[in-house]
Structure formats: structure tokens, C-alpha cells
Structure 1
Amino acid sequence: MANKILITGSAGFIGRSLIERLRSEAVELIECDLSLGHDLLDLKQTLALPPAAIVVHLAANTNVQTAFEKPFPIYRDNLLGTLNLLEYCRLNRVQRIIYSSSYVYGRPQTLPIDETHPVMINNPYGRSKLIGEQLVTAYSEDFGIAASILRNFNVYGPGQSPRFLIPSVIAQLYSESPAIKVADLNPKRDYIYIKDVVEAMWRACQSNAPGTRTYNLGCGASYSVGEAVELIFKLSGRRKPIESAGKSRKNEIMDTVADITRARLELGWEPRYDFAAGLADLLKTEGRIK
């Protein structure tokens, strides 16, 4: 069991990339995903999963866009699924759980944002992930399960749902639509490429740190929506008019930049892709450019 890693959400956006990354390592992978018939909301089914030494918990309801209209599925899926998995960890004496969280800081008081920044959740999805962090920490403290909480900033890469900005812009650019439509050109985000995220997860799997440690994952720089679109234009050699609805989401945050010092020092992790390099790799992977 020492080299067995259970990955929940293994067929999802991050899960697929993590599986691909770990296939070259001397580990045995146990894939767990709703599409494979594994429902984490079913405690009996979750406890019947094969025992593992390490758990990477990626499975989540990430439908941020409808979180205010339909909060119940967000809380149910993200909290009950996490709680059931933590019971699996306790009963199987799992050594470490890697919990994939998200941006939980709300409007930043200072930039860049380190892990000690106050958490100020402004949406149900972020709140569900923070409560998940608290459950992970509770099980870590009460039952001795080491935990690494990874707060991902804005992840992008091949296979991401077109609900998100980067794949949406690329899809529109290569479609017959006359313009690129976005909601608002102004919000700035710290974008991190999927390959860097899964590398950090692998480093966390190898960590020997006791207790619970929390890490920001980002690139340490922010780009506005408008800057992101222009960079995609430049890398692709294509261009279309941009149509902005000028409509901000409820509780919109205008800028985020991750301080990744702790991940550098404790995990020995460094992002290999800046935003331009990540976008170029994405476009090449999808066959958009050579």
C-alpha cells in the first residue's frame, strides 16, 4: 500500500493531467470518479474503495457561475463528498491527503497574497472549499492524517471546460463567430498552467511535513482579461474584434496575485511556465499552432 495513490476526480480537468504526470513515477494509481461509477456522496461506496497510502482529493462541484442561484448542490457535493473521503482516510490509516482548494481570500488587502492573508469568502463555491479545508484540518489534528492544502489560483490548460475564460476565448477565436465576447475586460487574475499545478501536487505527495500545511499555487503575476485576450491573439497569429458586455459578476474581485514563497521553500516547487509560455503550450497541444 505504501506506493498507492488514490485520486478522486481522476477523469476531471486536473485529474487527467495528474494521472498523465504520475504514470512515469513508481506509484500505483487508484482512479476514483463519478464517470467511473464512484459516488463520493455514498459513504458505503467510498469506504469500499481500495486502501491507499496517499489521497489526492480533486473531485468537486466547480459550477461557480450558478452558485448563487443553486447553492445546495455546491455545498452538498463539496462537503459531504469530502467528509466521506476523510472517513475513508481515517479508517484506512492514510498517511497524507492532498486537498485541492481554490482562491479563498476575497478582495485582497495586500498584494501579493500569502497564506496568512485573511480569508474573506464572497461566493458559495469558495465558502464550500474553505469549509472543506477546515474539515481536512480537523481530521488531520484529531486523527494524525498529514494534509497538504493547495489553494489554486486561476488554473488553465488543455481539456478545461469552455465555461472558463481561456478556453472560451480560444474556442471563439477559432470559430466562425465574428467577435470575441467577454463579460468584462478589467478583472486581473494570476493564471497558473495545469502542468505546474500537477507538479506541485506530486511534490506535495512526497512531502514529509506533519500536520496541515497550506500552499498558494500561482505564477506570482496577474493579467487582465483584456491582456489575456491580446496575448492569445499574439501567440495564435489571429485576431478578432473584442466585445465586452461591461458586466461584472456579483462580488467581483478586480486583482489577485499569489505569493508562492511557501511552496517554493517547503515543496521545492517552482512554476516552469509563465503565462505566455503556458498559453503557447496549450495552443500547441490543441494543434492550434506549431
Structure 2
Amino acid sequence: MRILVTGGAGFIGANLCNELLSRPEVGGVTVLDDFSTGNASNIDFLRVEVVKDTILSRDTVAELVSRSDAVVHLAAQPSVPLSIMDPVSSHEVNMNGTVGILEACRNFHKAFIFASSSAVYGQTQKLPINEDDAAAPASPYAANKLAAESYALAYASTYHFPVAAFRFFNVYGPLQTPDHPYAAVIPSFIDAALHGRPLVIYGDGSQSRDFTYVGSLVKVLADAALKKVASPSPVNLAFGNRTTIIDLAKKIESIIGRSIDLQFSGPRPGDVQNSQADNSRLRALMPEARDSALDDGLRATIDWFSLGNSVRSLPTAVARV
């Protein structure tokens, strides 16, 4: 099989490419990336075909989809704060880009695996969050993802090709970058801790997240693409764990083995207070899916930041729970 990964030079995309290349069923992987957020160094040492172009290029998308067996669509403008600053650009990439890829998958009848987001739930008070709970997007990014997954599922129902829309929660792990204004909390914390800087906490630290190790997530995505998994409804791709930001900081401090200063700042617009997945639908659809324990995933991530910082040093395995 040949798999097309949009956004394949990004953090999740490069980990997915690495996972796909370990599968004997995979004959080739094509990466479509404009490198606006992805990094060429993430895939330099992987045996992938790289096409540098935007997902908004319909001709490129059609050509690549036509010669692939399945598409994993990860490419996006992924930042909530940036979507608030520039909602039109966020819409253009996240909505129009996704519909263009769906059109190609419809025309060539190819399986489509879509990366949606837990951001679609907004400021919910109910935990854990079930896919049937009402969506209430609190940012343009979240609205983009909800609309795009709705399009994907409508295309599947109307045109009868395999589609699965997975709602990612807080994914972390090797290759995640800490050095931009909208970096996720775990790489930001690890980078600061390793360099002796205070950990900046937005809000009081009581907010909680359902963290998912990237190695666990890409195994699910690879399985879904290779098996052409389909679901008529969105699926939470997370494992029902919940950790506060304060507890996360303490775990990183414990693993690193030295005291870390904390610096508190005001909450950021669009951030949700709490997040935790009900993953019963994932367990029913893909019963073999398992996550790593948070301590194990953090340790592997810290080791990567400390020793490697390249795709060559990706951990081959992490303990399962």
C-alpha cells in the first residue's frame, strides 16, 4: 500500500511516517507539506517521497491522491491563538483545504483519515467528554475542525468511501517543537526545565488535559489507514486520562531530578479549562489501541530533547499500560 500523509513534516506527521515505514504492508509513503509549520529535518532520514506544496493546490492533491491507497490528513493551521488573530487564513487552510482533499478522495474512491480536535467541545463542564455531547467551539480553529469533520462524514455518507474522523486531545512526544509563541505545554515545559528557565503557567495551573503520547496515537492512525477503518461518527482518539498543569510540572521536575521555578501568567483566550475523553467508541472500533503511561511518555520525550532532537533518535518503544 501507498499512504499519503498531508502535513507529514510536522510533529505528528513525521512520527506517523516513521510508524508507517515500520509496517511490512506499506510499500511507500508520500508527504505533502508546504513547510509553513512542518520541518524538513523531521523527515530527512525517512524513506518518503516529499512534495512541497499547499493542500490548497487542487491539481497536486488530485495527482497524489490518485496514486495512493489511503490519505491521512494532518495538514492544518493548528494554533488556537493564531486562528483568533487571523480567522480567515485559518478557515482557508483548515476548511477549504480539507474539502479539496475530500473531493479528490471522492473522485478516486480512496480512504480518508482525518485529524479533528477535542477543541470542538469548547468549555464543557461534563467529564469525560463523549462524542455525542454537544459541540461548542470557543475559537475559529475549533469551528474549522468541527465543520471539516462534518464535511468528511457527510462525504462518506453521500459518496460511499471509507472515512474516519479522529478527535485528538493533547498530543505530546518527540519532534514537538517548543520554540514558537503558540507551542504546546509539554515541549514548552521540558525545554524550559532543561535550560533552567521557569515554567510559564497560563492561569492557576488547575486546568487539566488528557495527554496522549504521539507514539500511541500514530499506531492508531497507521492501523486505521492500512485497514481503511470507517466510522459514521467522530471518534475521540485519547485514553481517558486527566492531569492538571501543576501536576504535569511536578512530574517533569521529578523526572529531571532538580527543582524548577514556576511563573504564573493570565489565562489565554480560547483555552479550555478541563479536557478528558470518553474513549469507549475508540475501544469498540479499535480494541487493540493502547496508550503509554504519562510518566513513561514524558521520560521518552525528555530523553529525546536531551539526547537527540532528530528523527534518528525517535524511541522505538515505550512501556504500555
TM over 0.5: same fold?
yes
| Structure 1 residues 92-124: Cα deviation after superposition (integer angstroms, max 9, x where no partner) | 221x21001111111224211121111111111
Is the 8 Å Cα contact of residues 52 and 92 (structure 1) preserved in structure 2?
Answer: no
In structure 1, how many angstroms separate the alpha carbons of the residues matched to 2:136 and 2:236?
15
Is the 8 Å Cα contact of residues 212 and 291 (structure 2) preserved in structure 1?
Answer: no
| Structure 1 residues 177-216: Cα deviation after superposition (integer angstroms, max 9, x where no partner) | 3x22222212111100100110111222244655534211
User: Match of 1:238?
Assistant: 258
User: Match of 1:11?
Assistant: 9
So what's the TM-score if we normalise by structure 2? Answer: 0.84
Name segments (4+ residues, structure 1) moved above 3 Å. Answer: 206-211
Cα distance change on mapping 1:239 and 1:219 into 2, 3 Å:
farther
Cα distance change on mapping 1:114 and 1:211 into 2, 3 Å:
closer
User: Match of 2:152?
Assistant: 136
1:152 CA drift (Å)? 0.5
User: Match of 1:229?
Assistant: 249
Is the 8 Å Cα contact of residues 146 and 212 (structure 1) preserved in structure 2?
Answer: no
User: Match of 2:135?
Assistant: 119
Is the 8 Å Cα contact of residues 70 and 226 (structure 2) preserved in structure 1?
Answer: no
User: Match of 1:192?
Assistant: 212
In structure 1, how many angstroms separate the alpha carbons of the residues matched to 2:277 and 2:177?
23
Is the 8 Å Cα contact of residues 186 and 224 (structure 1) preserved in structure 2?
Answer: yes
Cα distance change on mapping 1:211 and 1:265 into 2, 3 Å:
closer
User: Match of 2:184?
Assistant: 164
Equivalent AA in structure 1 for residue 134 of structure 2: P
In structure 2, how many angstroms separate the alpha carbons of the residues matched to 1:235 and 1:210?
39
Equivalent AA in structure 1 for residue 261 of structure 2: P
Equivalent AA in structure 1 for residue 158 of structure 2: D
Equivalent AA in structure 1 for residue 74 of structure 2: L
Equivalent AA in structure 2 for residue 172 of structure 1: A
Which structure 1 residue ranges, 5 or more long, are not aligned?
none
User: Match of 2:29?
Assistant: 29
Cα distance change on mapping 1:284 and 1:258 into 2, 3 Å:
same
In structure 2, how many angstroms separate the alpha carbons of the residues matched to 1:113 and 1:206?
28
User: Match of 2:316?
Assistant: none
Greater alpha carbon shift after TM alignment, 122-131 vs 251-260: 251-260
Which residue of 277, 281, 285 maps to 2:300? 281
Aligned length: 284
Which residue of 282, 285, 289 maps to 1:263? 282
Which structure 2 residue ranges, 5 or more long, are not aligned?
36-50, 309-321
Equivalent AA in structure 1 for residue 63 of structure 2: A
So what's the TM-score if we normalise by structure 1? Answer: 0.92
Cα distance change on mapping 1:41 and 1:209 into 2, 3 Å:
closer
In structure 2, how many angstroms separate the alpha carbons of the residues matched to 1:211 and 1:182?
37
In structure 1, how many angstroms separate the alpha carbons of the residues matched to 2:32 and 2:185?
27
Which residue of 41, 48, 55 maps to 2:71? 55
Equivalent AA in structure 2 for residue 18 of structure 1: L
Is the 8 Å Cα contact of residues 149 and 234 (structure 2) preserved in structure 1?
Answer: no
Task: Tell me the SS of whatever aligns to 1:32.
Answer: strand
In structure 1, how many angstroms separate the alpha carbons of the residues matched to 2:59 and 2:238?
36
Task: Tell me the SS of whatever aligns to 1:84.
Answer: helix
User: Match of 1:72?
Assistant: 88
Identity, % of aligned pairs?
28
In structure 1, how many angstroms separate the alpha carbons of the residues matched to 2:233 and 2:5?
19
In structure 1, how many angstroms separate the alpha carbons of the residues matched to 2:292 and 2:106?
36
Is the 8 Å Cα contact of residues 191 and 305 (structure 2) preserved in structure 1?
Answer: no
In structure 2, how many angstroms separate the alpha carbons of the residues matched to 1:154 and 1:208?
24
Question: Are positions 1:91 and 2:107 aligned together?
Answer: yes
In structure 1, how many angstroms separate the alpha carbons of the residues matched to 2:222 and 2:165?
13
